[in-house]
Amino acid sequence: MNSRLNSILAFDKLLLLAVVVLLAMGLFVIYTGSNFHAMELGRPSYFYVLKHLRVILFGFVVLAFLTVLDHKIFHKLSHAMFLVCLVALVAVVVTGAVTKGAARWLSIGGMSLQPSELMKIAMFAYMSRRLTELGDEIKDFKRGYIQPLVTLGIVCGLILLQPNFSMALLVGATTYVLFFTAGVKVRYLLLSFVPIGLGALAIGLAAPYRLKRLQAWLHPEEHIKEGGYQLYNALISLGHGGWLGTGIGKGTQKLGFLPESYKDVAYSLMGEELGFFGTMIVLVLFGFIVYRGFMIARNANSRFAKYFAVCLTSSLAFNVIFHVFVCTGLMPTTGQPMPFISYGGTNLVVSMASIGILLNISRPGTGMNIVEPVFHEQG
């Protein structure tokens, strides 16, 4: 009994600690960013932070369950998970509720779910299994690259139809990291960057609203009323914070100037109230999580576990990068929240589920092998 308990508890505790610290910081950010908005709507100042706390508690249940559950179940169920999420993506495009011009959510039993977030885990499990089963055939152009690329194109295409450009970019970038890790020839990956880049540019410029968003990104001060308002005020928030910040709760941009300061631009709110040093602490914590995630992948005792861990870690990393780039004006405005920090449901639960799977793989006897890492040689 004791040995079983010790085995369950032998996960990467430092990784979990970093996540807990970020979740605690997120509660402060959400409270200070949402209390004014909540009171404007006639609700208690703690309305949104209480809702977020409930999601965190549910997320911990999911995290704990996946830490104990053998991650190999994802290998067995990967095809079924992928098909279910694929159907959900189609359902979103056909019947999803439209919010701010995008259909990204399904309402099930009174709850709103974002299938593209769920697809991340399903897609990564499916692709990890597929590339694992290929073995040395991963070097083959058709079977090792083109066929998986077609699958990726179908998934990203459905996500783009919502439309959700940033999520499609995140899934695509993460899958390319997996391709590289699994041993797909580098020249195949490099040769595809040009057509994929041109396609992404064409998609970005095809819709008038995306063109306006691009213009607002390049010159936010000149397009405040046409898409540049959020970025303009996000940059003001960061500048106002300076090195040390105004202090928790003392920021002013959240008072009706910075839209959804506790959601899509949470990093800017942190920059105003915690300052440059505060935001650097947050980025260091995320960097530590990414480092531990890749170490877990490096020491995994099976190809599937390694590939899956690489995907989950890379996805979290890209999610943070996109959010920070948006808030600092390095990327056009998207709807990517900051994991563990921003207010939200599906993204938070999926992020905590990802950590739960990484913790599971980190346990000796389930996915870790300190002696023999199994990274492929690149060809």
- From residue 346, alpha-carbon distances to 119, 157, 295, 352 in Å are 11, 21, 26, 10
Distance separating alpha carbons of residues 316 and 350, to the nearest angstrom: 10
User: 0.85 cut: is pTM over it?
Assistant: yes
Helix or strand run (H / E) with residue 97: strand 97-99
Distance separating alpha carbons of residues 352 and 350, to the nearest angstrom: 5
Type of residue at 185 = K
Per-residue pLDDT of the chain (379 residues; tens, 9 = 90+): 566 656 667 789 999 999 999 999 999 999 988 888 888 888 998 899 999 999 999 999 999 999 999 888 999 999 999 999 999 999 888 876 555 556 677 777 667 788 999 999 999 999 999 999 998 889 899 999 999 999 999 999 999 888 888 899 999 999 999 999 999 999 999 888 888 778 777 776 666 666 777 777 777 776 666 667 788 888 888 988 888 888 888 888 887 777 778 888 899 999 999 999 999 999 999 999 999 999 999 999 899 999 999 999 999 999 999 999 999 988 887 778 999 999 978 899 999 999 999 999 998 766 544 333 344 444 4
